[in-house]
Every structure is written in structure tokens, then in C-alpha cells.
Amino acid sequence: MLSEPAISGAPDTVVSASPQDSAAPASDASAAGGRRSRSRRRLRASGTAVATAGALSLALVLSGCSSEQTDTTSPASARSKAGDDAKGKQGTVDCAKAKCIALTFDAGPGKDTGQLLDTLKDKKVPATFFLLGKNHVKKHPDLVRRIATEGHEVANHTWSHPRLTDLEPDEARKELALTQDAIEEITGRKPTLMRPPQGRTNKDVSKVSKELGLSQVLWSVTAKDYSTTDSALIKKRVLDQADRDGIILLHDIYDGTVPAVPGIIDALHKRGFTFVTVPQLMAPAVPEPGEVYRP
């Protein structure tokens, strides 16, 4: 689902010695050897820097920190800025006092979403579903309807999962609007939240989101479940990163994810966490259209 970024700043080209260099006098050979040694040291240093930069770039993408727009608001900050007349619905918990965490699922619904909903219902856990329009919302309207009916938050993850920052504003608007309309047709309500694919957003995306009444939601916990079918590993990655006011990113379209969810829920319950939807995490604040939220 997430792609590795290109690594820029490649090392300088190394020109290999010509055949006659090998027959140079001893003194010249020594000087040439010194130059080659310095060149190799520069190459190793350059290569190390490039590798470090590449690893950092990849880590940023995989952790959801690849957003081109760096101005974000945390759930705690949103709550603290809420006025006395704020209308966000807290449900049965006040996340300013309780140890809250939001469970979110991207890119569904899919073949395992029904099983996931059974688990959430059994454990009385609400979640937020960022749904894909093409081949998902349109293919599984009954699941979309069930997600809404059972009290989960239905949100937008675009129509076909492009990087919105690579699109012209009109194209980005179409990607979001098509999914808005498809979800409204099924549930009777347009989403108020969206998650940009790969967490990539910028000022143009924020402007389009605002026009469509959509707040942008990133994340703080990723199991990288697109890279493994090992449910035990997915669970471990989530538990290692989970913290108060966290937003967990999972995908209910990958084989290892849904089987990992019961264990994740049980373990976090034992740690004293309360599961909430993303709007409940920010209540009494109401997420503002166009704004980018990230713990």
C-alpha cells in the first residue's frame, strides 16, 4: 500500500583507472593509490549519508510522517481549545481524563470486514473506518451500511487511492467527492473525516478538504500490516507503539490483520485503555474541515 520513496543525492561517479595507470612508476603508483584511497573514503562517506537519508525518508513514509504539510493538531490540543459551546459528542467517556485510543481501519470494506465487525460488536469497541470508494464501497454496500448502523464512524479514504498531492485540485476533489456521494447514498450521511493515502497532504489538499467539509486524520501507530501476514507480529507492533490519545492505523483488507484485532483489544484493555472513535477522541471539540489531526 505504501511505496518506498526514491533516494536522491546519489554518490559521485567513480572513474576506474585506465590500463596504463597500472604500469606507472612506484612513486606515481603510490600517489595514485593515495588518491584512490581518499576517493574510496569520500565514496563511503557519501554512500553512508545517502543510505541514512534514504532510511529516514522511508521511516517517515511508513510512520505516517510524510505529510507535506507540517501544521497538525493533536487530539489533546483540539480538546483544550474547545470552547464552552463546543458540540463534539463524547459518548460515555471524557478523553481529557480517560486513557483513550482510537482504532482505525483503512482501504475497506473487504472480505474480512464482516468478521472484524463481529469482533468489535462482541467486545463493544467502536472504530473508525476510512473507506475506499471504487471496488470497496460500491462492491460491499451491505458492509458499509452495517458499519454505520453498528455505531462506527464512516470516513473517506478517496475513490481509488492515489497520492492526492500528485493530483491537480480538481482531480483530488473528484477522488473525495465520489466517495462522499457513494457513502451518502448507502448511509444517508456524508463523512466528515478523511485520511489522505500514505498520509500525504499539502495546502491544496487541505483547501479541497475544507470545501468538502472534511477534516484530515493521520495516525501515531502503524503495524505495517501491508508487509506481513503474521498476526502476532501485527499485534506486537501495535502494542509497542500504543499510547494515550493514539490513533492506530490498520487495514481490514490484509489477511493477517483481522485475526490480530481480538488480541490487540484485550491487551490494551488490560493496560487501561478505552477505545473511542476519532471524533470522540477529540470531543468536546469538533474536527474542523481542512485541518490535519495527528497525535
pLDDT band at 225 (very low <50, low <70, confident <90, very high): very high
Say whether pLDDT at 92 is over 90: no
Please name which of 199, 175, 202, 178 lies closest in space to residue 190, comparing C-alpha atoms: 178
pLDDT digits (tens, 9 = 90+) for 101-121: 999 999 999 999 999 999 999
Q: Which pLDDT does position 97 carry in this prediction?
A: 93
Q: Which of 106, 112, 225, 245 is catalytic?
A: 106
Compute the distance between CA of residue 45 and CA of residue 249 in angstroms, rounded to an integer.
Answer: 36
Please name the amino acid found at residue 220: S
For the chain, the maximum distance between any two Cα atoms, rounded to a whole number of angstroms, is 87
Q: Which pLDDT does position 90 carry in this prediction?
A: 62
Q: Which residues of 61-91 are buried (b: 16+ CB within 10 A; e: fewer)?
A: bbbbbbbebeebbbbbebbeebeeeeebebe
Q: Which of 140, 152, 157, 251 is catalytic?
A: 251
Q: Which pLDDT does position 104 carry in this prediction?
A: 98
- Quick one: CA torsion of 108, 111, 114, 118, rounded to 10 degrees? -100
Cα 99 to the center of its chain, rounded Å = 22
Q: Strand ranges (DSSP E) for the chain?
A: 100-108, 128-131, 153-156, 193-194, 215-217, 221-222, 246-251, 274-276, 292-293
Place of cell 483488507: 253
Compute the distance between CA of residue 15 and CA of residue 19 in angstroms, rounded to an integer.
Answer: 12
Say whether pLDDT at 254 is over 90: yes
> Can 251 be counted among the known catalytic residues?
yes
Compute the average pLDDT of residues 129-138.
97
Compute the distance between CA of residue 245 and CA of residue 219 in angstroms, rounded to an integer.
Answer: 10
Query: Under DSSP, is residue 132 helix (H, G, I), strand (E, B) or coil?
Result: coil
pLDDT digits (tens, 9 = 90+) for 138-175: 999 999 999 999 999 999 999 999 999 999 999 999 99
> Can 71 be counted among the known catalytic residues?
no
pLDDT digits (tens, 9 = 90+) for 13-24: 222 233 333 333
282 within 8 A of 128, measured Cβ to Cβ: no
- pTM value is 0.77
Q: Which pLDDT does position 6 carry in this prediction?
A: 28
What percent of the chain lies above the pLDDT cut of 90?
A: 71
